[in-house]
Amino acid sequence: MIESELIWHNGELVAWEDAKIHVLTHGLHYGTAVFEGIRCYETDAGPAVFRHTEHLDRFERSAKLYYMDLPYSTEQLREATHELIARNGHSSCYIRPIAYRGYGQMGLNPLEAPIDVSIATWPWGAYLGEAGIRDGVRAKISSWERISSRSLIPQAKASGQYLNSVLAKIESVKAGYEEAILLDEHGHVCEGTGENIFVVLGGVIHTPPQTASILDGITRRSVIQIARDLGHEVVQRDIARAELSLADEVFLTGTAAELVPVREIDDHAIGSGRPGEITRALQAVFQDALHGRVERYREWNDVVAVTERAGA
Ligand SMILES: Cc1ncc(COP(=O)(O)O)c(C=O)c1O
């Protein structure tokens, strides 16, 4: 990881090396934390956070689902993030807000444990690699089933839930693939370890519905809108495993990964084995939207108000 200078922690800016927690932090033991993954991009108007409010709203919703009252409003967190980006001097970066049950209470009832909030920023390149974005990745259907709403909250972005993604990721990487695709409790296609999934069949774009235990991805929503604006039909429905192998195109979407074609699943080439036409077209508009180059999506770019490093 490339370090930045400062981290925002409970309302203060602290040096990167001083952003430490106690070993008896509740969230460390029981996974009682919620977080977001957000990106800021270079635009002509300066660094701009992509769909910032939507991410912070999801952060607040994740917290609520785990009975955590965030001690900061989404507007306070938005302003804190702007200040942090400016003070760290980023033109683009990844942003990781986290709210966690802190030090002071052990045991499974977390309600008396404090809620601490931190925001970190750092430069982070393509999560599945530049080659993945360009040529597509190879994926494997995981033997691990995606968490269901019978045991956890698929719609929340909570730390403990990510053990499910971690197991699937390790399995796929050890088997020589770049990413895992998880099925849901009914055996339907669900999503990647940190990405939603789209399947193009006969010119129509399909993606699993909310009821398939997916995270309500903000990139997913953006890509659905872009696809419809380009005149494509987008259908949200259950997808059978075999449809992946028979698809003309498959791609993944997520903040960290962005829009990544899948060229092979379980050793079946997808379509021609190269990123398809629809994937490419969506990728191009999406990249333009991230960088503030599309007028109709400009409201998605939350331009950082202050761009000068304080004291510079
Ligand atoms: C499990 C999971 N699914 C999907 C996504 C994609 O969501 P978004 O596009 O909001 O980053 C993520 C990333 O946050 C994720 O962790």
pLDDT of residue 127: 92
Residue whose Cα lies nearest atom 15 of ligand 1: it is 194
Mean pLDDT, the chain, rounded, equals 96
Backbone angles phi, psi at 136, to 5 degrees: 100, 160
119 vs 18: CA distance, rounded Å: 13
Predicted pLDDT of residue 312: 37
Rounded Cα gap, residues 288 and 107, in angstroms: 48
The structure tokens listed for 17 are 């090396």
d(CA 39, CA 194): 14
Taking a C-beta distance cutoff of 8 angstroms, is the pair 139, 33 a contact?
Answer: no
Q: How far is the CA of 272 from the centre of ligand 1 (A)?
A: 27
Beta strands in the chain (DSSP E): 6-9, 12-15, 33-35, 38-43, 46-50, 93-101, 115-122, 137-141, 179-183, 189-192, 196-201, 204-207, 234-236, 249-254, 258-265, 268-269, 301-303
The atom of ligand 1 lying closest to the CA of 58 is 10
Determine the distance separating the centroid of ligand 1 and the alpha carbon of 195, expressed in angstroms: 5
Q: Are residues 200 and 250 in contact, defined by beta-carbon separation less than 8 angstroms?
A: yes
Which residues lie below 8 Å from residue 203, measured CB to CB, with a gap of 6+?
Answer: 232, 233, 248, 278
The reported pLDDT for the residue numbered 305 is 85
The phi and psi torsions of 14 (rounded to 5 degrees) equal -120, 155
pLDDT in tens, 273-308: 999 999 999 999 999 999 999 999 999 999 998 754
Q: Which atom of ligand 1 is nearest to the CA of 221?
A: 9
User: Whose alpha carbon is nearest atom 13 of ligand 1?
Assistant: 194
What is the Å distance from ligand 1's center to 199 Cα?
A: 17
157 is a catalytic site residue:
yes
Work out the pLDDT band at 1, boundaries 50, 70, 90: low
Identified catalytic residue from 20, 64, 157, 174: 157
When pLDDT is cut at 50, 70 and 90, the band that residue 311 belongs to is very low
- The per-residue pLDDT for 3 is 75
**Residue 310: pLDDT band with limits 50, 70, 90:** very low
Which ligand 1 atom is nearest residue 191's CA? Answer: 3
Minimum CA distance residue for ligand 1 atom 2: 194
Per-residue pLDDT at 296: 98
Burial class (CB within 10 angstroms; exposed 0-12, middle 13-18, buried 19+) of 231: exposed
Residue pLDDT, tens place only, 168-179: 999 999 999 999
- pTM (two decimals): 0.96
pLDDT in tens, 149-169: 999 999 999 999 999 999 999
Which residues contact ligand 1 via a Cβ below 6 A?
37, 165, 191, 194-196, 215, 217-220, 253-255
